[in-house]
Structure 1
């Protein structure tokens, strides 16, 4: 890559670093892993920058972040299977019957509400959403991407983006109400 191309890459891609990290953070649910995913995504984007045909640099980069997350997730699952096949088999058996079952370390919605600020509550509920719903909600509401850009990032039709976003909003609102109702019961 020439110096001019490298400068064009920096000018096009670096403004989207925060959006890339935000998406990676919500997908991985781990700050250190998100940094690794973003670093890998930027390396891949740098290597493939000659193939970038224009359009939304943000959507192109976030699609790479999404693919890097999938690679990271698949690698992590393989490692977990190698180390503890029984524990992972239960985890991979499907989605939990209730999204609140995903809370860790014996935390209850009540303790989360008492301990965290409203922003932390939002993050916590976002983490409870299934990945496809969490992904579109983060891309639309936090990263403010258009439906078309989300479609490009996720590799799904715009109609699918719209239906996932609708389901994500309903699911988020339901979880918010359930958590809030649980907090009211504690008082």
Structure 2
């Protein structure tokens, strides 16, 4: 095993000996001990806990913690005799699913609260289109328009008809701003959306 990780190989290139329980020199115990030694030396992450699930991948897969044998032996010595190790992998998997679901809900809630105001554009509305990515000059306009909303598509997309010489385009909702009109009174203002 040590020969497999030594030499002029990349960090991720490891060639392990074949597992053959019939032979004495490559028996299961010897092979597993060498794998654990290599895992410890290289810091493989199969024994780490996935923070979102709350369990290590090995525990969810086979129902026991994948730990390095010397450390696991020491932990077994320290534990109370009354302590019963939980090997109910189905319960662990259910708990991991619940933890992942709660984390996903938390992230979705945070995403929804930081998303742009839920403006509603209807067919026939006249809008501007933000063109930050197309601005090449310092003084070029930030918004392009006017466009007319001709269709509302899924995933907050809008099909726009270019007025005057503008082409028809499909744009995300975040890029749109209502057109205040061509003749706006001097003292009136319209709300600026982030």
TM-score by length of 1: 0.28
Relative contact order, higher structure (CA 8 A, sep 6+): 1
Give the structure with the higher percent helix.
1
TM-score by length of 2: 0.27
Give the structure with the higher percent strand.
2
Structure with max Cα Rg: 2
